[in-house]
Every structure is written in C-alpha cells, then in structure tokens.
C-alpha cells in the first residue's frame, strides 16, 4: 500500500505540472498572452483589465481547507512545483493566513455561494456566485497586492484539479479566459485539467523581467517578441 500510494502521488504531480509539449510559434504565444493577460473573465476589474497584472513581491499562499474531502496536501504540492517551472515566480506556502497575500479557500459546493459572496466580495447576499470556481485579484499599476481563490472539492477529481490549476495560475495575473485557446486551461470549453506546456510558456512570459506591471497592451507588444523568443529558447 505504501508503494502504491507513493506511485500515485508521483503520477499525479507529473500530470499536474506540465502536459506533453508540441511546438508553439512565437506568434501563437504572443496572441495567447494578449488574450489572457488583458481582459477579465468576470469584467470586475475596470481599468485594471487593460493593464498587465503580476506580483512583484514574493507570493505567499495559504490554503484553508474546509472541504469534506481533504485537499490541502495536493494543492500545496502543486504550488511547490511552480517556481521550478516558471522562471521569475517566487511562490511558497504560508503557514498562517496573516502571512499570506494569496488565500485559497477549498470548499464543498454547498458552501461555495456564501464564501464567494461574503468572504471574497463582502456582499450580504449569496446570490452573486459566478463560475464553478473563482479567483479574485486585487491589483494596481504597481502590481498585484492580493489574490483569493475558491476551489470546489466535492464534485469529482476532474473539476477539482481543473479549478486548482486554473484559479491558482490566474491568481498570478492572467485572469482572462478565451475559447480560442485550445491548448490552455484558460478556456472553459477545453478539457485540460493540468498545467499545460502552452500555459507554462504564458506564465513564463508574464514573469519575464521585461514585462512590468501596469503595462498597457501597446507597451507590452513592444517587448513581447523578445520575451517570447527568450522563453522559447529556455524551454525548448
């Protein structure tokens, strides 16, 4: 049983970190970057939707698991793989919520509406509950100051893993979904539930030092060809 459990964990982490690669052109990556970094899935960011959003301070992520199915270890293990996959990303686990600037709530579906409405958006009614899972990012032109994600744990392994990967990655800055991105988890019509090779490249571009928080789409366009080429060379 011990060997089987260890093997399962290794297989799971391998599946979650990166999918088998195919060759992407620089133009495809630049297009994907613009579609995910600019805009907002829920249109709740106002002017921030039109600017680059990324952390400049170290990210400290706290997992608050309220679900009937324990998920904390899986999420923390996934997060610990990310610095080795995304150059420039400084993320680690916070042991207490007061030390965190990224808070992940893990809940059962029955508790999702109240957590989203009251604890994420501070609304008195739980009628505002968009999506099957959700992330909220607080950002200015100086960078992201806080992210809060809500992940549903009790509606099957596929939804849990998809929510975990998508919401945590979106909490780092690429908050928009786009139905044209077939190789991305940032697409509600795709069947991806893992950290795809395409998305790894997008996050690596976002956390490249030439891409700065507060950049407009036009400003980012001036550096993206160099950024895409360098990321491609590093990850090839």
| Domain boundaries of the chain, sorted by first residue | 22-235
The pLDDT, as a whole number, for residue 187 is 87
Q: What is the pLDDT of residue 152?
A: 97
Q: Which stretches of the chain score pLDDT less than 50?
A: 1-19, 43-47
* pLDDT in the model for residue 103: 98
211, containing H or E segment: none
Architecture of domain 22-235: 3-Layer(aba) Sandwich (3.40)
Question: How far is the C-alpha of 90 from the C-alpha of 192, rounded, in Å?
Answer: 25
Q: What's this model's pTM, rounded to 2 decimal places? A: 0.87
Please list, residue by residue across 105-114, b when 16 or more beta carbons sit within 10 angstroms of its beta carbon and e when fewer do. Answer: bbbeeebbbe
- The whole-number pLDDT of residue 2 equals 34
Q: Which helix (H) or strand (E) holds 52?
A: none
pLDDT of residue 126: 65
Which secondary-structure segment (H or E) carries 93?
Answer: strand 91-93
Among 48, 77, 52, CA closest to 172: 52
Tell me how far the alpha carbon of residue 123 is from its chain's centroid: 24
């Amino acid at each position: 049983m011990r060997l089987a459990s260890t093997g399962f964990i290794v297989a799971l982490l391998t599946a979650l970190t990166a999918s088998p690669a195919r060759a992407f052109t620089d133009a495809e990556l630049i297009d994907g970057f613009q579609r995910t970094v600019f805009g907002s899935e829920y249109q709740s960011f106002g002017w921030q939707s039109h600017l680059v959003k990324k952390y400049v301070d170290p990210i400290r992520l706290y997992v608050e698991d309220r679900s009937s199915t324990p998920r904390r270890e899986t999420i923390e293990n996934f997060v610990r793989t990310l610095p080795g996959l995304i150059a420039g990303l400084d993320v680690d686990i916070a042991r207490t919520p007061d030390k965190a600037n990224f808070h992940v709530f893990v809940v059962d579906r029955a508790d999702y509406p109240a957590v989203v409405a009251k604890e994420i958006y501070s609304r008195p009614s739980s009628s505002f509950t968009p999506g099957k899972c959700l992330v909220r990012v607080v950002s200015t032109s100086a960078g992201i100051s806080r992210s809060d994600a809500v992940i549903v744990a009790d509606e099957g392994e596929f939804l849990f893993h998809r929510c975990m990967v998508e919401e945590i990655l979106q909490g780092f800055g690429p908050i928009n979904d786009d139905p044209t991105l077939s190789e991305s988890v940032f697409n509600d019509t795709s069947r991806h539930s893992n950290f795809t090779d395409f998305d790894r490249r997008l996050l690596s571009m976002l956390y490249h030092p030439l891409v700065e928080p507060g950049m407009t789409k036009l400003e980012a366009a001036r550096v993206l060809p160099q950024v895409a080429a360098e990321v491609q060379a590093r990850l090839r």
